[in-house]
Amino acid sequence: MNFTNFGRYILLLKSVFRRPEKLKIYLKEIAKQMDYVGVGSLGLIAIISTFIGAVMTLQIAFQLVSDFIPKTIIGSVNRDSSILELSPTISAIVLAGKIGSAISSEIGSMRVTEQIDALEIMGINAPGYLILPKIISGITMVPMLVIISMFLSITGGYIGGSVSGAVTPAEYIQGITTDFNPYTITVALVKAFVFGFIITSVPAYEGFYVRGGALEVSQASTRAVVISCISILACDYIVTQLLL
């Protein structure tokens, strides 16, 4: 995203946050988007988080070769990694692929079939009507998904450790309950909030300014996912640097 695009992105966001024409219709649209972003992504996030947690346990156990390090450390490393990094970042990258491409294609298709022009001619603030509900659903539902992901990742670690015998259930539970710092949850939720904004606003921008036809819509969709992923990783670093 060069400076011209960044400027246009900011201007688009300015129009997104204009006063809605009719709040009731926007609320209905927000509920629809929350269902799509939140409930629609729950299964995917659950599967990914559980497996990541399980694999993390096995890999940490594999790397702990010294007898001087207690096995309970597996649980605490898994907990902190899941909360601080894996759940927010991996979930966000997966959601950027699933939701980001859908948002970009939907808005891009509306652009090339003149549906956005139709909204503007009717006197409706098209960026507000199309993008605001998506951003609100992103910044509310992604943190919720991340909370579920954290829980499932830690649970997945428990299952993976118990099934493989890498760590006993008692040691794992002792590990995840020892020296827990609740501030890590705050950091993770701040990340999730920022990622939720990126996942919805960047693809919306890419779709909104598409020119051409089906080929350009698909290219915009790919670009949206790539830019979202890079932005997520960059913001991940910045938020971590600022908050830890």
Partner 1 sequence: MIEIKDIYKSFSGNDVLQGISGKFEEGVTNLIIGGSGSGKTTLLKCMVGLHQPDSGSVLYDGRDFTPMTYEQRIEVRKEIGMLFQGSALFDSMTVEENIMFPLNMFTDQSRKEKLERVDFCLERVNLAGKNKLFPAELSGGMKKRVGIARAISMNPKYLFCDEPNSGLDPKTSIVIDELIKEITEEYKTTTIVVTHDMNSVMGIGDYILFLHEGKKFWEGSNKEIAHTDIKELNDFVFASRFMKAAKDKF
Location of structure tokens 């899941």? 82
Could you tell me the smallest distance in angstroms from the CB atom of residue 238 to partner 1?
Answer: 34
Handedness of CA 65, 176, 239, 50 (dihedral sign): positive
| Contact (Cβ atoms closer than 8 angstroms) between residue 166 and residue 160 | yes
Could you tell me the smallest distance in angstroms from the CB atom of residue 5 to partner 1?
Answer: 18
Nearer to partner 1, 122 or 233 (CB): 122
Could you tell me the smallest distance in angstroms from the CB atom of residue 71 to partner 1?
Answer: 53
| Contact (Cβ atoms closer than 8 angstroms) between residue 189 and residue 84 | no
Nearer to partner 1, 171 or 216 (CB): 216
Nearer to partner 1, 25 or 214 (CB): 25
Sequence-distant (6+) residues with CB within 8 A of 80 are: 184
Could you tell me the smallest distance in angstroms from the CB atom of residue 180 to partner 1?
Answer: 45
Nearer to partner 1, 62 or 211 (CB): 211
Could you tell me the smallest distance in angstroms from the CB atom of residue 125 to partner 1?
Answer: 8
Please tell me the distance from the alpha carbon of residue 177 to that of residue 117, in angstroms, as a whole number. Answer: 56
Location of structure tokens 């590990």? 175
Nearer to partner 1, 119 or 173 (CB): 119
174: nearest Cα among 158, 189, 198, 192: 158
Sequence-distant (6+) residues with CB within 8 A of 183 are: none
Nearer to partner 1, 121 or 234 (CB): 121
DSSP 180: -
Could you tell me the smallest distance in angstroms from the CB atom of residue 95 to partner 1?
Answer: 21
Q: Which residues bind partner 1 (CB under 8 A)?
A: 21-22, 25, 109-110, 113-115, 117-118, 120-124
Please tell me the distance from the alpha carbon of residue 15 to that of residue 204, in angstroms, as a whole number. Answer: 13
